[in-house]
């Protein structure tokens, strides 16, 4: 598609398959769903741009779960691949927002496209729109989606519409249910729809071949969703209450008054996992930092951990390029956050002794009863009396990604483990009440935390150093 518009703006785009259908869709709610790399977001953004160019005074919106995630992903694609020519020609200009209006893009014909995260929805919830686009929609809650829908009443288009792009999630996700019930339309996007990866004759482009090699190496439920585009849950999923839109939260400033905890599951060939937890005054637990690495010694993990929680407050003043305050005996280091109330560990006595020595904190043995621990965590995933669960994982908690685990296409964090944590299956096909001992290291450490709080765990510790 090549379209010449006012002021000689040129838009070049080749919609295929579901993307072509999107440009014709007039339903009030339309989801572009499919595996990773099919061009879902790009198609939606191009449609929004073309509608704005052709319809003076229309008002649109681009939104995600958080403003930070929007700015670092969706808007980069928007500016570099969709509106670059219009920006260069002055047809579209950035507006930084005001006390009354949300930030966004202003077109020379009077059209406006606001941008916002649902973590700060105040200004968009007082505005009116014709066409809105929600990216990574599986992160949104149904309340987020329905709230934005109430703002579709600007009246500059003969049709008003909510668009969204997403990779498949669990079959119980509200998006899938909404489409199955006929409330919304789902357009199924496939890799052949993306000309950047697949040529018109079906062969892979050079970039596409490299990208699909990565997708082909995925396993389990991640492959089903990201490579095959299937709305699937892992068979025998243990924590089927886990909902990415609810239990994954974006990073926030944790109040210093919240209690901190550390849990550890030892490993070398298998991952060593150290998790930092914050507990709010109502007892909710937030996993906010994590080491998840293979083939490192416990003493090195301890040093890595201290680098994450300490900073130099009185430097020795050396000018040497190789100077590292964390390795310098003359520099004064202090903790930048509250010390943990307890360090809860797997039972390996030698590893615990090594960790205590190099971390400078004492440890306690975890309550390791598997079935009660799993049931306690399952309970925390369910909404409590106030409608909120009591277990959360903060996005970006992982301190450092393990390239060896990436290469092996194994989970690299607790966030990646939980959607594939399943019950073991006996040869006869029956499912015992024990989890499969595979890719469960973050799950074990998380279970230690919940057991400490909910199964009568101990809280006394002694400080070393």
What would the pLDDT profile of 234-250 be if each residue is shown by its tens digit? 888 899 889 888 899 98
What does the DSSP 8-state code read for residue 138?
Answer: G
Question: Where does the pLDDT of residue 420 fall: very low under 50, low under 70, confident under 90, or very high at 90 and above?
Answer: confident
- Are 389 and 383 in contact, with CB atoms under 8 Å apart? yes
Distance separating alpha carbons of residues 236 and 252, to the nearest angstrom: 33
pLDDT over 60 at 463, yes or no:
no
- Are 145 and 134 in contact, with CB atoms under 8 Å apart? yes
Q: Which CATH number fits domain 244-454: 2.40.50.360, 3.40.50.10300, 3.40.50.300, 3.30.420.280?
A: 3.30.420.280
> Can you give the pLDDT at residue 427?
58
Asked if the domains at 2-214 and 244-454 fall in one CATH topology, the answer is: no
Question: Model's pTM, two decimal places?
Answer: 0.71
Q: Which CATH architecture has domain 2-214?
A: 3-Layer(aba) Sandwich (3.40)
Picking from 59-63, 67-71, 366-370, 446-450, which range would have the lowest pLDDT averaged per residue? 67-71
What would the pLDDT profile of 67-124 be if each residue is shown by its tens digit? 988 998 999 999 999 999 999 999 999 999 998 899 999 999 999 999 999 998 999 9
Distance separating alpha carbons of residues 57 and 347, to the nearest angstrom: 66
Write the DSSP assignment of 93-133 as a string of letters: EEE---SSS--EEEETTS-EEEEEETTS-TTGGGS-BSEEE
Write the DSSP assignment of 30-85 as a string of letters: EEEE-STTS-HHHHHHHHHHHHHHHSTT-EEEEEES-HHHIIIIIHHHIIIIISHH
Domain boundaries, the chain: 2-214, 244-454
Distance separating alpha carbons of residues 272 and 327, to the nearest angstrom: 23
What would the pLDDT profile of 144-161 be if each residue is shown by its tens digit? 999 999 999 999 999 999
What does the DSSP 8-state code read for residue 136?
Answer: S
Question: Where does the pLDDT of residue 50 fall: very low under 50, low under 70, confident under 90, or very high at 90 and above?
Answer: very high
């Amino acid at each position: 598609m090549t379209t010449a518009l006012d002021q000689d703006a040129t838009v070049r785009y080749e919609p295929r398959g579901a993307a072509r259908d999107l440009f014709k869709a007039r339903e009030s709610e339309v989801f572009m769903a499919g595996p990773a790399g099919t061009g879902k977001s790009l198609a939606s953004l191009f449609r929004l741009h073309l509608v704005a160019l052709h319809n003076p005074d229309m008002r649109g919106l681009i939104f995600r779960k958080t403003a930070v995630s929007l700015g670092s992903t969706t808007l980069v694609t928007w500016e570099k691949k969709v509106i670059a020519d219009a920006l260069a020609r002055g047809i579209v200009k950035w507006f930084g927002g005001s006390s009354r209006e949300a930030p966004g893009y202003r077109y020379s014909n009077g059209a406006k496209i606001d941008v916002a995260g649902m973590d700060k929805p105040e200004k968009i919830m007082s505005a009116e729109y014709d066409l809105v686009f929600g990216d990574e929609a599986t992160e949104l809650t149904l309340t987020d989606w329905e709230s934005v829908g109430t703002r579709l009443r600007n009246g500059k288009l003969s049709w008003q519409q909510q668009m969204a792009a997403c990779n498949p999630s669990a079959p119980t996700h509200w998006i899938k249910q909404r489409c199955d019930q006929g409330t919304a339309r789902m357009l199924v996007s496939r890799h052949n729809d993306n000309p950047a990866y697949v040529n018109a004759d079906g062969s892979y482009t050079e970039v596409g071949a490299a990208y699909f090699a990565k997708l082909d190496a995925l396993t389990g439920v991640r492959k089903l969703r990201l490579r095959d585009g299937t709305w699937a849950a892992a068979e025998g999923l243990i924590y089927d209450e886990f909902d990415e839109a609810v239990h994954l939260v974006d990073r926030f400033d944790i109040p210093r008054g919240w209690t901190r905890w550390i849990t550890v599951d030892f490993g070398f060939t298998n991952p060593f996992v150290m998790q930092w937890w914050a507990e709010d005054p109502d007892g909710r637990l937030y996993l906010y930092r994590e080491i998840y690495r293979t083939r490192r010694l416990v003493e090195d993990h301890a040093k890595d951990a201290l680098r994450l929680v300490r900073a130099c407050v009185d430097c020795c003043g050396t000018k040497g390029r190789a100077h590292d305050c964390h390795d310098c005996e003359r520099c004064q280091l202090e903790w930048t956050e509250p010390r943990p109330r307890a360090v809860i560990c797997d039972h390996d006595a030698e590893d615990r002794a090594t960790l205590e020595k190099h971390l400078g904190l004492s440890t306690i043995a975890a309550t390791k009863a598997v079935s009660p621990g799993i049931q306690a965590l399952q309970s925390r995933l369910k909404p409590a009396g106030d409608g909120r669960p009591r277990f959360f994982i903060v996005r970006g908690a992982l301190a450092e990604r393990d390239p060896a685990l990436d290469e092996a296409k194994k989970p690299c964090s607790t966030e990646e483990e939980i959607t594939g944590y399943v019950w073991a299956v006996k040869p006869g096909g029956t499912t015992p009440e024990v989890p499969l001992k595979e890719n469960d290291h973050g799950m074990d450490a998380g279970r230690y935390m919940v057991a400490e709080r909910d199964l009568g765990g101990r809280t006394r510790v002694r400080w070393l150093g």
